[in-house]
Structure 1
Amino acid sequence: MRVLVVNAGSSSLKLSVLGERDEVLGSRALELEQGRWSASAVEEVLAGWPEPEAVGHRVVHGGRVFTEPTRLEGGVVERLRELTPLAPLHQPRALAGIEVVERVLPGVAGVACFDTAFHTTLPEAAATYAVPEQWRRRWGVVRYGFHGLSHAYASRRAREWTGGERVVTAHLGAGASLAAVLGGRCVDTTMGFTPLEGLVMATRSGSVDPGLVLWLHEQAGLAVREISEALVRRSGLLALAGTADMREVVEREGRGEASAVLALGVYVHRLRGAVASMAASMGGLDTLVFTGGVGEGAARVRELVARGLGFVGVGVDEGVNAGVEGEGEVSAAGARVRTLVVRAREDVEIAGGVRGVLAGG
């Protein structure tokens, strides 16, 4: 079955058609036009590709309602719209992508695939915040986790590759998160109620003391919107090094520039600690996987992370690590934990979810 995969981001609509063996038959990103995506532009792109037999949409948030790929029928879109307050930046884009593609391909079956779904297997102790029960019951204040489509693909690829049952996947890109995957089930992750929790990212702070946020509002007089904007768009690597591009950070760190040395140090410190925490949640570690733009492309990051994790059995061969292209194993000889670089393929995960739903009726 040929599947059109639709990934609606903050500024672009990524379209790709995958064939029966998940080969890419066409791929392109469309930019926003006057704040929306053009149906005519989508039509023009699809006209040059093999006709899709089904459509798979990446949807960031499924809440606790949607725990597996779901066909877009019978009021599903409206229920997704009701989840917008949980993902006010991402959900409207996904809904807009669904709308424009349905206009272009009326009658073609559509399936929503959720980034949160992979994390619905979190044990209660890992998913629960120690906050008032009313918050948890009334507003669904739990740890949802994100990047689930990437973590699902990378962890499955790792298990096929090594046979190891205890896998930590590191999805490192503009956004970054880890998942602890035990026997194919996610048992812990670093992102929480929002994608702001956890690791240092390109422009996001990652976890900060909640007391700091309160202090900035109550004592420093900053508005809630200003604090939110700063934590999401003006923090992370950008705040520390003046750039959100890890390639530039690594280059400048190599020249000894103080801000880049600090930025990479903070990034790696948080990442190492989180990998160890994920391993602890599984009682050990068999395989560590790096994926995403930074995970695949920044050998220096992989080297520094591994250098601090020898106590759990991680070690990389620096020569192999520096030379890996695309996918590869970078484990040091004799290391107890196998370390892999895996291409991020959310498109494959989405296409597989679509085929599974439609094959089941």
Structure 2
Amino acid sequence: MDARDAAGVNPGGFHVLALNGGSSSLKFGLFGARGCEMLPRVTGEAQAIGSSAGLLRVRDGHGGTTLHEETVAIADSVQAFRRIARLLAGLDVPAPDAIGHRIVHGGPQLRTHARIDTAVMAQLEAASIYAPLHVPAALSVVRAAQARYPSLPQVACLDTAFHAGLPEVARTLPVDRALQADGVQRYGFHGLSCASILAQWPEAPPRLVIAHLGSGASVTAARDGRSIDTSMGMTPNGGVMMATRSGDLDPGVLAWLVRERGMDARGLERLVDHRSGLLGVSGISGDLRRLRQMERKEPAAKLAIDMFVLSVRKQIAAMAAVLHGIDALVFTGGIGEHDAQARADICEGLGWAGIRLDASRNRGGALRIGARDAACEVRVMASEEERQICRHVHVLLAGAGDQREDSASPPLQSPSSFDACNQAGSG
């Protein structure tokens, strides 16, 4: 990596390393800030973490050239990060000036992106109880990054921050009011993805629905760039059916499992996190691509796909009702960006809302896939979570100050920090 000047800053500008951990992957990107633009230098990912056949890949900033690829056993997210850091050290790219971490859940107190210090780390550790599948692994990477880059600022970029300003009618869950004091409320997730869509499309019409469809999936209603409702709830398990997560489920089912099957909390978590959704219904796989290959000969595979499609369609319809109509629908995430058949099937039942696809444009991978005379614009857009992490880090460290707030303050809405950049046009 290149040398720094006496002040410890890269002479070529300010560079942020974004780390985006999933349940079995760690995506990363090194971006350089130039005004409101975030320019990628290298990107990559570690896949199949926890298996003996993990994949580690690094691409150049344009995403076209593979700089490094290997199949290797990757025990956990920390080992993945250490391999990534060693690879970056050997490439002709700038050293990072800051590290940004995607954190799925900040808990009831931490509702905005924040530089990580002892107090913030304690809040994040306390928030692990709300997302045990995601937060502990992310914090292990934070600790590893602090050890590897002890002099660099580390920033927590929260998926929940985008939804921090949800109206009370959407935020409040229909349970005993006393539980709200314990943090029982709707938080919403995939906020970095939603924010990245708005950063790419600052002139988006006022009534926008974003369908982030991947192994985790959610649907969000945004009015004038602000989240006003979203399908996920207190945890990332609610809402639409997902790869291995159940989505919304009759709570009586859980009570029955406790009463009649003797399941404890750990057993219930294993069920709704790992043995439900597409995998649970099909008994084959949680990967929609594999189910596509088998749907003609395996009725359970077809049923799982049909249930997924219906659950997404119902949530889009619900968000259209929340918005009093819909001006635009965006598909993003792995399934949303790459599965044309899923997009077509989901939209097939939404003609009443003005949603109609152009079949050839949908199959051809166009940005705008809606019929030209349809009332609702439909787009396919890439989820740029790593780039969005870098935007948040740059804004926070470049003079906006620490965005943390005490619990008595009204929550800030994440996109507000980017109004100036969005008006100027984001990279």
More helix by share: 1
Structure 1: runs of 5 or more not aligned:
none
Query: Per the alignment, do residues 338 and 34 of structure 1 end up closer, same or farther by CA in structure 2, a change over 3 Å counting?
Result: closer
Match of 1:320 among 357, 361, 371: 361
Match of 2:167 among 119, 123, 129: 123
SS in 2 for 1:65: coil
Aligned pairs (5 A) from 1:1-361 = 1-20=14-33, 21-30=37-46, 31=49, 34-35=75-76, 37-38=78-79, 41-47=83-89, 48=91, 49-73=93-117, 75-137=119-181, 139-160=182-203, 163-241=204-282, 242-253=284-295, 255=296, 257-324=298-365, 328-360=367-399, 361=401
Deviates more, 1:284-293 or 1:97-106: 97-106
Rounded Cα–Cα distance in structure 1 between residues aligned with 2:379 and 2:314: 19
Is 1:42–1:104's contact at 8 Å kept on the other side of the alignment? Answer: no
| TM-score using structure 2 length | 0.79
SS in 2 for 1:121: coil
Is 2:27–2:45's contact at 8 Å kept on the other side of the alignment? Answer: yes
Rounded Cα–Cα distance in structure 2 between residues aligned with 1:225 and 1:27: 36
SS in 1 for 2:244: coil
Deviation, 1:72, is: 1.6
Rounded Cα–Cα distance in structure 2 between residues aligned with 1:279 and 1:219: 39
SS in 1 for 2:38: coil
RMSD: 1.9
Is 2:107–2:126's contact at 8 Å kept on the other side of the alignment? Answer: no
| TM-score using structure 1 length | 0.93
Is 2:221–2:230's contact at 8 Å kept on the other side of the alignment? Answer: yes
Deviates more, 1:284-293 or 1:50-59: 50-59
Q: Number of residues paired by the alignment?
A: 355
AA of the residue aligned to 2:246: S
SS in 2 for 1:44: helix
Rounded Cα–Cα distance in structure 2 between residues aligned with 1:40 and 1:172: 29
Percentage of pairs with the same residue: 39
Deviates more, 1:331-340 or 1:69-78: 69-78
Rounded Cα–Cα distance in structure 2 between residues aligned with 1:165 and 1:256: 44
SS in 2 for 1:75: helix
Structure 2: runs of 5 or more not aligned:
1-13, 51-73, 402-427
Deviation, 1:55, is: 1.3
Deviations 1:207-236 (A, max 9, x none): 110011101221243444323212211111
Deviates more, 1:84-93 or 1:205-214: 84-93
Deviations 1:273-297 (A, max 9, x none): 1101111111110110000000001
